Amino acid sequence: MMTVYQYTAKDEQGSIYHATHDGIASVAALRTELTKMGETLINAKKIKADKSKFAKINQADIVAFVYKLAGMSSAGLSIITSLESLEQQTENNSLQQVISNIRQSIQTGSSLRDAFGKYEDIFSVFFIGMLEAGESSGKLSETLTISAVYLEKQLELKRKIKSAFAYPIIVGVMCIIIVIVMMIFVVPVFSNVYRQLHVSLPGPTKCLVVLSVSIKKFWWLILPIAVGFVFLLRKLAKKKQIKIKLDSYKLKLPIFGKLLKSILISRFIRTLSILIASGVSLIKSLQIASLVANNSKLAQITEDIQNCVEAGNPIADAFKKHDIFPSIIIQLADSGEQAGSLSEMLGKGVDFLDKDIERAINSLLVKLEPIMTLIMGLIVGFILLGVYLPMFDYMSHVK
């Protein structure tokens, strides 16, 4: 649980203001930080951290922030001045509070890595690693620019994937709505008619009637059950052993497995390439890239790669041991190591991989659209068949 203090203080001009600060161990530590900035703590109290307040900070906000910070840093402005300016410019109140807390931490002597590290969930493990590399190498503006470009590419990839799968999702939702509407309003009408006519119901119709009655009677349970099911899945997914199995299963899915694997490797290799180019050691780069990829299966593979590299083996040989890496990545890694341009060659490989991902998404959509239409047609057809079968039987007896 994040420790947050709500406090009242007096600045150097004697003006009294109210603010909050998180990541502080005690009131004494808060007073010390404010004193370093020439401010006086009047009173403070610990409050419960509201993690939901940061939910409004989306990836686009972070990309814009990093681009602006990189531009100011390249122009020669100090990090404190840049953060003060961005704090005033930012319209997002949640992000504004985060920037304010980071600025205060840096003013009291914290490193960039430590100040931003408190908000790792917001800025990502990759960005924190890049800050550390830029701060230690003295190339902060360059690493910030590279980080901004990387984060923008990741955001663009997410948007492409969301846009591509919007149609199948809409079709699926519409199918569910149509089925529910037919079950609630259409099936009961025909069921009453057949009951009055004393028509015997075939199996499919009986199934529809039972399902219709259940939905009408227990409709209020559908949403709580769905929410509870999702909550349970998320809770189970956090358990290490289950997460390992799920992450491994995702890569073996019949239709989406290959695409998910390509996206995972693209994120891993691009992160690795950029970190190496920024002066981060190969072992450290592998660690951060594994965290950014956020897949237990790949984390195990990365650990094996690290051991191979530490033993003096080329990284290309370590990649060859695992079939998760495409041959183009292995070949370019081998060429890059021999030529002394590993990061550049890995970058070219991941660019090729991203184009392949885009083609795979388009190809998958071409296959998904008719499949979704067919499934929807079969479901609606089954319902209509169940509804009209007794009528056909009744008409044949009337004749």
CB 72 within 8 A of CB 85: yes
Dihedral class, residue 331 (left if φ above 0, else alpha if ψ from -120 to 50, else beta): alpha
pLDDT of 50 reads: 52
Interhelix angle for 93-107 vs 27-36, to 10°?
80
Please return the burial class of 100, using the count of CB atoms within 10 Å of its CB with bins 0-12, 13-18 and 19+. Answer: middle
Please state, for a pLDDT cut of 90, what percent of the chain lies above it.
Answer: 24
pLDDT of 91 reads: 85
Nearest-CA neighbor of 42 among 74, 2, 10? 10
Give the span between the Cα atoms of 2 and 50, in whole angstroms: 9
Please return the burial class of 397, using the count of CB atoms within 10 Å of its CB with bins 0-12, 13-18 and 19+. Answer: exposed
Under 8 Å CB-to-CB from 152, ≥6 apart: which residues? Answer: 63, 67
Averaged pLDDT for residues 100-128:
86
CB burial of 156-183 (b: ≥16 within 10 Å; e: otherwise) equals: ebeeeeeebeeeeeebeeebeeebeebb
Instruction: Give residue-wise pLDDT tens across range 15-37.
Output: 887 777 766 677 788 788 778 77
Pairing of the two strands 40-48 and 3-10 = antiparallel
Averaged pLDDT for residues 93-119:
86
Nearest-CA neighbor of 95 among 60, 61, 129? 61
Instruction: Give residue-wise pLDDT tens across range 346-363.
Output: 999 999 998 888 888 888
Beta-carbon neighbour count of residue 121 at 10 Å?
10
Secondary structure (DSSP) of 4-27 = EEEEEEE-TTS-EEEEEEES-S-H
Secondary structure (DSSP) of 183-225 = IIIIHHHHHHHHHHHTPPPPHHHHHHHHHHHHHHHHHHHHHHH
Averaged pLDDT for residues 388-397:
77
Q: Mapping DSSP to helix (H, G, I), strand (E, B) and coil, where does residue 2 land?
A: coil
pLDDT above 60 for 55 = no
pLDDT above 60 for 329 = yes
pLDDT of 29 reads: 80
pLDDT of 1 reads: 45
Give the span between the Cα atoms of 126 and 273, in whole angstroms: 12
Instruction: Give residue-wise pLDDT tens across range 259-289.
Output: 889 999 998 999 999 989 888 889 999 999 9
pLDDT above 70 for 237 = yes
Highest mean pLDDT among 126-130, 251-255, 387-391: 126-130
CATH class of the domain comprising 58-160: mainly alpha
Give the span between the Cα atoms of 71 and 86, in whole angstroms: 11
Instruction: Give residue-wise pLDDT tens across range 193-229.
Output: 888 888 888 888 888 888 888 888 887 888 898 889 8
pLDDT, the chain, mean: 85
H helix or E strand, kind and range, residue 165: none
Q: Which of 4-18, 73-87, 118-132, 346-360 has the lowest mean pLDDT?
A: 4-18
Q: CATH homologous superfamily of domain 165-399? A: Type II secretion system (T2SS), domain F (1.20.81.30)
Q: Mapping DSSP to helix (H, G, I), strand (E, B) and coil, where does residue 268 land?
A: helix
Please state, for a pLDDT cut of 70, what percent of the chain lies above it.
Answer: 95
Averaged pLDDT for residues 7-22:
78
pLDDT of 3 reads: 65
Instruction: Give residue-wise pLDDT tens across range 180-192.
Output: 888 888 888 888 8
pLDDT of 23 reads: 63
Averaged pLDDT for residues 92-107:
87
Averaged pLDDT for residues 324-331:
92
CB 305 within 8 A of CB 315: yes
Instruction: Give residue-wise pLDDT tens across range 379-391.
Output: 888 888 888 888 8
Strand order in the sheet with 40-48: 16-22, 3-10, 40-48
pLDDT of 335 reads: 94
pLDDT above 50 for 52 = no
CB 293 within 8 A of CB 271: yes
Beta-carbon neighbour count of residue 153 at 10 Å?
18
Highest mean pLDDT among 96-100, 206-210, 311-315: 311-315
Partners of 3 in the β-ladder: 48
Secondary structure (DSSP) of 44-106 = EEEEE--GGGGGG--HHHHHHHHHHHHHHHHTT--HHHHHHHHHHH---HHHHHHHHHHHHHH
End-to-end CA distance of the chain: 75
In the structure encoding, which two tokens stand for residue 253, read together?
A: 């899915």
CA 125 and chain centroid, separation: 13
